[in-house]
Every structure is written in structure tokens, then in C-alpha cells.
Amino acid sequence: MTPLSILELVRVTEDTDARGALDNARDLAAHAEGWGYQRIWVAEHHNMPGIASAATSVVLAHIAAGTKSIRVGAGGIMLPNHAPYIIAEQFGTLARLFPDRIDLGLGRAPGTDQLTLRALRRAPENAENFPQDVLELQAFLAPAGPAQRIQAVPAAGTDVPLWILGSSNFGALLAAELGLPYAFASHFAPDLLLQALELYRSRFKPSEQLDRPYAMVGVNIIAAETDEQARRLATTQQMSFANIFRGARGLSGPPIDDIESYWSPTEKAQVMRMLARSIVGSPETVRAGIRQLADETRADELIVVSDVYEHSARLRSFEFIAEAAGIRSAEAGTLARAS
């Protein structure tokens, strides 16, 4: 049985505002805790009206306060946007508030456009310092030495576990060199998935945090009672990806009956390439898809995006997924059978 986790997008929809999206994320985490999911992560995005997770550490505090045991973390913090010292302070504070529950995934991309990057007062070339920034952040989270003049208070000694996130060979090689767990973003950039995993595993060097490779694979999964219902729910995500290519990053929209009427052949080809690893269907279809992906990638863990428009339907999707993956007993189900 492969452990499952959740990547929560904190979507603002045409029927919710940012507060609604944040409360829905917290509600999902509370349900996921009971369904057997291992962790829930949110990602740093800026200047995107449809995503409410820009102040990532604040969002994590909101989610963690509404749960008791599920791990909560960043998937991820775009480290070139920040001084490592500040991130250490933020996540060290979270670790003091929620001991042994906080993860810190780190990405090298800006998580926004170049114009917004300037508003963040960060230069694009900061990404070149990513490996050094990871090490600096790790040092601030470690116990402070007796002669250490600059400490990240109250972070020193929390040893918040770090993850490297990526969609290319760069992140795989860095995670292997530093002996850190690696999460591959195959939920939107699947092309190099198998190659990156092989590089990570073959080059891995044990560290104080990790003695052997640990690979997490991102996957879009949308589950419903039937394949047809799930395919309809999936049109929300398909439209969101098509809108990216149109330069229209708006609010999440409700599903439609005919996705072919929404996108052009070129947009369809682009979107389907990005979503090539998606699993969409009934619990039986999802069960087979999870098994195939786990066997092919030998993933230590899958982190699931279920980008469903209506919150109640999204909860049911995650419940179906948990049952299909075997992390939750079908006899214990409530939401899926109450609908």
C-alpha cells in the first residue's frame, strides 16, 4: 500500500471568495486526517486570483490549527523569493506551534510572472543561488552553536524536515547530493518523471535527515461514482490549464458537459501533455491507475491533486481515492455514501 498525501491548491472559485477557499482547505485537511492521508501541502503562488495560498506559512497555520495529527507543509516555498533566514523563522515558528507535524518543501521557480517577481523585490538570478540557500536554511533550522551570533529564533533546533521539489533533473540531482527527500511535479510536468527518479535514486548520498532515497510523485486524481461523472468533474481542471495558455489566470470554473467546445486542438494537445499522468474515473478505475503508477515509478508516496469545483464533490473524490488506494476501509465511508 503506497502512502497518499494531498496537494491542496486553495482554489478560489466563481462561487467562493478567498476566505471560503481557505476554510475549505482546512475542512479538507480535517477529513483527510480521518481518511488516512499522511500529509497535506500547499504551494506558494503570487498574483493569481484563483489561488489563495500566497502567504503560505499563514495558510499552513490555519490548516494545522484545524487538525490534530496529519502532517502539514509547503509544497513548496519558492526559496529564490525569500531570504532563507525569514523562511527559517516562519517554519521554525510553525514547528514550535505544531511539533513533529511540519514539512518544508523547497522549489527553485518563482511561482509567478516576471512582473510580480519585481514586486517581490527579488531578481531572477536569485534562482542560481538555490543550492546554497537550501544549505543556509538547513543550518538555521539546526541547533545553534555556542559561538553562533545569528540565530533564527525560535527556529534553531527544530530541524524541520526539508524536501526538494522539482520537475527536471536539476532538482533530482540536488536532492540526491544533499540526501533529502524528493517530490516530482508530475501533476503538471510529467515528461521527465522516470528519468529524474532514476537519477535521484542512483546518485543519492545518505544524510543526517535521510539514510536512503525517498521519492514522492505528484498525480492528478479525480474520482466519482462513475467514469463519466469523473470525466465531467475533470473539465474544471482542463479549463484552468487551457486558460493558462490563453494568459487568463482567473477563478476556477464549474464543470461543463462538452470540453471539446471549450478548447482548440492546439490547446487540447498542450493540456493533455501536462495532464498525461492523470487518473480520472470510478473507484475501480482509480484503483487500477494508482496501482499502475506505483508499480511503474516505485514511488514511496503519492501526493494527490483532486481539482474538483464543488467542495462537497471534492471531499467525495478524496474519500473515494483513499478507499481505492486501500488507506481507508470502504465500510467506514460516510460522505461518499451519504450523497
Please give the full DSSP string across 221-265, using - where no structure is assigned: EEE-SSHHHHHHHTHHHHHHHHHHHTT----B----S-GGGTS-H
Q: What 3-state DSSP class applies to 48?
A: coil
Judge whether 32 lies within some domain.
yes
Which set of grid coordinates corresponds to residue 5?
498525501
Give the pTM.
0.94
Is the predicted pLDDT of residue 274 greater than 90, yes or no? yes
Asked whether residue 264 is domain-assigned, the answer is no
The predicted pLDDT at position 30 comes to: 98
Q: What are phi and psi of 287, to 5 degrees?
A: -60, -45
Residue range 184-209: mean pLDDT, rounded:
98
Is 273 inside any structural domain? no
pLDDT tens digit string along 3-38? 999 999 999 999 999 999 999 999 999 999 999 999
Residue-wise pLDDT for 94-126, tens only, equals 999 999 999 999 999 876 777 787 888 777 777
Burial of 191 (0-12, 13-18, 19+ CB in 10 A): middle
Domain that holds residue 317: 4-223+278-338
pLDDT for 317 beyond 90: yes
Gyration radius of the chain over CA positions: 19
Residue 114 lies in a domain: yes
Write down the pLDDT at residue 335. 60
For residues 84-91, give the mean pLDDT: 98
Q: What pLDDT is attached to residue 331?
A: 47
Average the pLDDT over each of 53-57, 127-131, 138-142, 332-336 and give the range with the smallest value: 332-336
pLDDT at 124: 74
- Quick check: is 260 in a domain? no
Confidence category of residue 227, pLDDT binned at 50, 70, 90:
very high
* Per-residue model confidence (pLDDT) at position 111: 64
Q: Is residue 250 included in any domain, yes or no? A: no
pLDDT over 80 (residue 332) = no
The contacts of residue 318 (CB under 8 Å, 6+ apart) are: 6, 28, 31, 32, 35, 37, 223, 304, 306
3-state SS, residue 71: strand
Pair 336, 316: CB distance under 8 Å? yes
For the chain, how long is the longest CA-to-CA vector? Answer: 66
Q: List b or e across 215-229, with b for residues whose CB sees 16 or more CB atoms inside 10 angstroms.
A: bbbbbbbbbbeeeeb
Q: Average pLDDT in the 75-90 region?
A: 96
**In which band, very low, low, confident or very high, does the pLDDT at 134 lie, cut at 50, 70 and 90?**
very high
Average pLDDT over residues 226-230: 98
Q: What's phi and psi for 220, nearest 5 deg?
A: -85, 125
Q: Residue 334's pLDDT is what?
A: 57
Residues 6+ apart with CB under 8 A from 235: 255, 256, 259, 262
- pLDDT for residue 244: 92
Residues ≥6 apart with Cβ < 8 Å to 130: 79, 80, 106, 108, 174
Instruction: Look at residue 175 and tell me if it is in a domain.
Output: yes
Q: How many domains does the chain have?
A: 1
Rounded to whole angstroms, the Cα distance separating 21 from 17 reads: 6
- pLDDT of 337 reads 43
Q: Judge whether 174 lies within some domain.
A: yes
* Nine-digit cell string for 26: 482546512
Domain at 303, CATH number: 3.20.20.30
The dihedrals phi and psi of 110, each to the nearest 5 degrees, come to -75, -20
Mean pLDDT across the chain: 94
Peptide bond into 76 cis (omega under 30): yes
Q: What is the pLDDT of residue 4?
A: 98
Q: How far is CA 73 from CA 31, 60, 96, 139, 274, in A?
A: 17, 7, 14, 19, 24
